[in-house]
Chains A and B, each alone.
Chain A
Amino acid sequence: MVYFFQQALNALQLGSIYALIALGYTMVYGILTMINFAHGDLFMIGAFFCFLIAFYLKLSFVPTLLLSMVGVAFLGVVIERLAYKPLRNAPRVSAIITALGVGLFLENFTLALNPYPQHIPALIADQTWTIGNVSISSLQIIIIVLSLFLMLVLDFIVQRTKAGMAMRAISWDKSIVPLMGVPINKIISLTFAIGTGLGGAAGMMYGLAYPVIDPYMGIMIGWKAFISAVVGGIGNIRGAMIGGFILGSVEIMVAAFLPSTYRDFVAFTLLLILLIFRPYGILGKPNPQKV
C-alpha cells in the first residue's frame, strides 16, 4: 500500500508535466485546428533555456522559471509568425508538415550547438519529508503545486478574461469573429505565447526532476503529451489536464507493477481501446459531419 501511494505521487508528478505540455497542444488546436508538432521540441528548448540560465547566470528558481517561460513563449510567437501564419489558408496537411519541419529544425539546431546531454544544476534545496512511510521531496511538491497553480491561472484566463473570451470565440468560428472587431492575429499570438510558455515551464520541471536533458528528449514526451490531449478530447483545455494525469498514472503504474519495458505498449494499447469507445476523447464533443 505504501508502495502504491509512493507511485501515485510519482504519477501525479509525471502527470502534471504531461498535462502542462498537453495544454499547449490543445490550445493551439482549439484556435487554429492545427496540430503544432513542434510543441514537444519547444518543451525541450524550455529545459535548455533553464539549463543556460541556471548554469551561466546562476539565478535562483523563480527568475529562472520566469525567464525560460518568457523565452520559450517568445520563440513560440516567432515560429507562429514566420512559419505558420503564411499557411493559415493553405491545406491543413502542409501546416502539419511545416510543424514537423520546425520540430526537426529545433532538435537538430540544438544538437548542432550542444552535442552532449546536459545536467541542470539543482535549484531547490533537496529536502524529504516522510508521512507514514511515504516520502515526499520538496521538488515533487513544487512541481505538483506549481503546475496546478499554472493550470488554475490558465483556466481563469480562458474562462474569465476578455482575451480568453476572444480565444473561445475564435475557436468557435474563425470567419465571423474578426468582423466583430476581435484582433485575431493578436489573440492567436497570445494563445501561442501562453501554450508554449506552459511547455517551457514543463521543460524546466522535467529537467529538474529527471537528471539528463538532451536535444531529442522532446520527441517522445511531446508525442505522449499529444496523446494525453487526444485522450482528454483535443481542443478541450480541461480535457488536456485530465488526459495528462491519466497517461501519467497509467505509465507509472505499469512500470511499477509490470516489467518497465511494457510501459509504452500498455499505454498505447489503452489509448487505442479508449479511442474505440470514445472516439472524441473523454471531454471532447462529437463533431457530426454535416452534408
Chain B
Amino acid sequence: MSKLKAAYQTLLNKWHIVIAHRFFWPIFLIAGLLFSIAASTFDILDLYLQLILIYVGINIILTVSLNLINGYMGEFSIGHAGFMAIGAYIASLLTVNIFPQTANIFLFPTAILAGGIAAALIGLLVAIPSFKTRGDYLAIVTLAFCMIVKSVLENIDVVGGPRGLLGMEKLTTLPWVFFWTVLSLWVIRNLVYSKFGRGVLSIREDEIASDLMGVNTRQVKVIAFVVSSFFAGIAGGLFAHTLQYINPRMFDIIKSTDILIMVYLGGIASIAGSILGAFIYTILLEILRPLGVWRMVFMPLMLVLLMIYRPRGIMGLRESSLFVPVRDLLAAKFRRQKKKEAGDASA
C-alpha cells in the first residue's frame, strides 16, 4: 500500500513534466478517434448519447471560434449565427442539389469545407467595418449582419425561403465531429500562441498602442474574423447535416445569444474555458429537460448568478496548462523562480 502511495507521490511530483511533454495528447487523440469510430459503427453508445456528443462538438467549434473575437481580441460580435447560417446553407445546397447522391458520403468533407470558405469570405466583408468602429457600434454592425443574412435567406426561393431547406442525409457522424472539433481547437490554439496571436491580444489591451508598436492591426483583425467565421461555417454545415432540416429562423439572434452564453460561461480568452462552457451548457440543458419550459427559466438565472459572482466566467483569462506551449510554461516557471530568488535576497 505504501509502495502504491509512493508511486502516486512520484507521479504527482512529476506530473508537470508529463503535461509539459504532452504525452497525453497523441494518446487522447487516438483514443478519442477510435472511440468515436467505434461508438458510431458498433452499438456502444445509444443514438441519443451520440447526438448529444455531436451537439457538444458543434458547440465547442462555435464557442472557440467566437472566443477568438470576443475573448482574445476583445471585440463584441453578436452575429456569429449569421456565419453559421451561411455554412449550413452552402453545405446543404451542395449535398442536396449538386453532388451526386451516391458520392455524398465521400464528398461530405468538401461540402463542409465549402460552407466554411463561403462563411470566411463573408467574414472578410464584416471585418472591414471593424477597422473604424469598436465596441458597441461594432456589436450593432454584426447584429445587423446577422439579421440581413436571415432576411436574405427568407427571400431566396431556391433555398426554400422561410419554409427552410430539407433533404439532407444524416452525414454528420461522431468521427467527423471529433475531427472538425480537434481541427478547430488546434488551429485556434496555435494561432493564439503565435506571433499573430500576440497581435490579437495586444488589440484587446490597447489598439492604438499596439498600432504604434508595429502590429498591423488591420491585418490581424481580418485574419481573426476570417478564421472565426470559417469555423462558424463549418459548425453550421455539421449542424445542418445532423438535424437534416434548416430554416432561417434557426440562425437568428437567439442562436447568437446561445453561443455568447457558452463563451462567457466557460470564460473569455481560454481554450479550456471554451470546451468547458460548451460542454456544461449543452449537457445541462439536456439534464434539465424533464423540467420542461422551466429549464429555460433556470438557465438564464444561473448565468446571471455566475456573472455576478464570477464575472469572467469559469476559466476567464486563465488557461489549462494542457494548452499552453511548453516554452510559455517554462518561461512562467523561470519567472517564478527568479521572483523567489529576488525575495530571498531581499529577506
A94 contact set on B, CB distance < 8 A: 264, 307, 311-312
Which single member of B132, B300, B301, B311 contacts A279 (CB below 8 Å)?
A: B132
- Whether B300 and A271, one on each chain, are in contact in the complex, defined by CB atoms closer than 8 angstroms, is no
Chain A, 37-70, CB within 8 A of any chain B CB: none
Complex Cα gap A14–B155 (Å)? 24
3 nearest A-B pairs in the assembled complex, by CB-CB distance: A94-B311, A104-B300, A108-B296
- Whether A98 and B208, one on each chain, are in contact in the complex, defined by CB atoms closer than 8 angstroms, is no
In the assembled complex, B337 has its CB within 8 A of some CB on chain A: no
Smallest CB gap from A109: residue in B: B297
Beyond A105-B301, A289-B208, is A35–B136 a contact (Cβ under 8 Å)? yes
On chain B, the number of residues with a Cβ less than 8 Å from chain A's Cβ atoms is 43
In the assembled complex, A100 has its CB within 8 A of some CB on chain B: yes
Complex Cα gap A105–B293 (Å)? 11
Complex Cα gap A279–B130 (Å)? 11
Interface residues of A toward B: which range?
A: 35 or more
Complex Cα gap A105–B302 (Å)? 10
- Whether A90 and B154, one on each chain, are in contact in the complex, defined by CB atoms closer than 8 angstroms, is no
- Whether B257 and A276, one on each chain, are in contact in the complex, defined by CB atoms closer than 8 angstroms, is no
In the assembled complex, A177 has its CB within 8 A of some CB on chain B: no
In the assembled complex, B152 has its CB within 8 A of some CB on chain A: yes
Which single member of A29, A98, A226 contacts B304 (CB below 8 Å)?
A: A98
- Whether B312 and A98, one on each chain, are in contact in the complex, defined by CB atoms closer than 8 angstroms, is no
- Whether B151 and A264, one on each chain, are in contact in the complex, defined by CB atoms closer than 8 angstroms, is yes
Complex Cα gap A289–B212 (Å)? 14
A246 contact set on B, CB distance < 8 A: none
Which single member of A95, A101, A259 contacts B303 (CB below 8 Å)?
A: A101
B155 contact set on A, CB distance < 8 A: 259, 261-262, 265
Beyond A94-B307, A275-B141, is A268–B257 a contact (Cβ under 8 Å)? no
Complex Cα gap A93–B204 (Å)? 13
- Whether A276 and B129, one on each chain, are in contact in the complex, defined by CB atoms closer than 8 angstroms, is yes
In the assembled complex, A124 has its CB within 8 A of some CB on chain B: no
Complex Cα gap A260–B308 (Å)? 42
Smallest CB gap from B291: residue in A: A112
In the assembled complex, A83 has its CB within 8 A of some CB on chain B: yes
Show 14 A/B contacts (Cβ-Cβ < 8 Å), sorted by A: A35-B136, A90-B311, A93-B70, A93-B264, A101-B303, A109-B297, A112-B297, A230-B136, A234-B136, A264-B150, A265-B148, A265-B151, A269-B148, A279-B137
- Whether A275 and B208, one on each chain, are in contact in the complex, defined by CB atoms closer than 8 angstroms, is no
Beyond A100-B261, A112-B297, A268-B144, is A223–B133 a contact (Cβ under 8 Å)? no
B299 contact set on A, CB distance < 8 A: 104
Complex Cα gap A289–B135 (Å)? 12
Complex Cα gap A152–B18 (Å)? 69
Which single member of A87, A100, A223 contacts B260 (CB below 8 Å)?
A: A100
Query: Digit string of B301-325 for contact with A (CB within 8 Å is 1, else 0)?
Result: 1011001100110000000000000
In the assembled complex, B268 has its CB within 8 A of some CB on chain A: yes
Chain B, 223-264, CB within 8 A of any chain A CB: 253-254, 257, 260-261, 264
Chain A, 67-118, CB within 8 A of any chain B CB: 83, 86-87, 90-91, 93-98, 100-105, 108-109, 111-112, 115
Could you list 13 further interchain pairs (A-B, Cβ under 8 angstroms) beyond the known A98-B308, A111-B293, A275-B140?
A93-B76, A96-B76, A98-B303, A101-B301, A101-B303, A108-B300, A223-B143, A261-B154, A264-B148, A272-B145, A275-B141, A279-B132, A279-B137
A234 contact set on B, CB distance < 8 A: 136
Query: Digit string of A137-156 for contact with B (CB within 8 Å is 1, else 0)?
Result: 00000000000000000000
A residues with CB within 8 A of B: 29, 35, 83, 86-87, 90-91, 93-98, 100-105, 108-109, 111-112, 115, 219, 223, 226-227, 230, 234, 259, 261-265, 268-269, 271-272, 275-276, 279-280, 289, 291
Complex Cα gap A108–B148 (Å)? 26
- Whether A115 and B129, one on each chain, are in contact in the complex, defined by CB atoms closer than 8 angstroms, is no
Least distance between B251 CB and chain A CB atoms (Å): 14
A269 contact set on B, CB distance < 8 A: 144, 148
Least distance between B269 CB and chain A CB atoms (Å): 11
In the assembled complex, B94 has its CB within 8 A of some CB on chain A: no
In the assembled complex, B294 has its CB within 8 A of some CB on chain A: yes
A35 contact set on B, CB distance < 8 A: 136, 139
- Whether A219 and B253, one on each chain, are in contact in the complex, defined by CB atoms closer than 8 angstroms, is yes
- Whether B300 and A112, one on each chain, are in contact in the complex, defined by CB atoms closer than 8 angstroms, is no
B260 contact set on A, CB distance < 8 A: 97, 100
A109 contact set on B, CB distance < 8 A: 297
Which single member of B148, B296, B311 contacts A268 (CB below 8 Å)?
A: B148
Smallest CB gap from A105: residue in B: B300
Least distance between A135 CB and chain B CB atoms (Å): 31
Beyond A91-B312, A268-B151, is A97–B144 a contact (Cβ under 8 Å)? no
Chain B, 101-153, CB within 8 A of any chain A CB: 129, 132-133, 136-137, 139-141, 143-145, 147-148, 150-152
Complex Cα gap A29–B301 (Å)? 23
Beyond A91-B312, A97-B261, is A104–B208 a contact (Cβ under 8 Å)? no
Complex Cα gap A93–B73 (Å)? 13
- Whether B307 and A101, one on each chain, are in contact in the complex, defined by CB atoms closer than 8 angstroms, is yes
Least distance between B135 CB and chain A CB atoms (Å): 8
Least distance between A28 CB and chain B CB atoms (Å): 12
- Whether B261 and A101, one on each chain, are in contact in the complex, defined by CB atoms closer than 8 angstroms, is yes
Complex Cα gap A289–B209 (Å)? 12
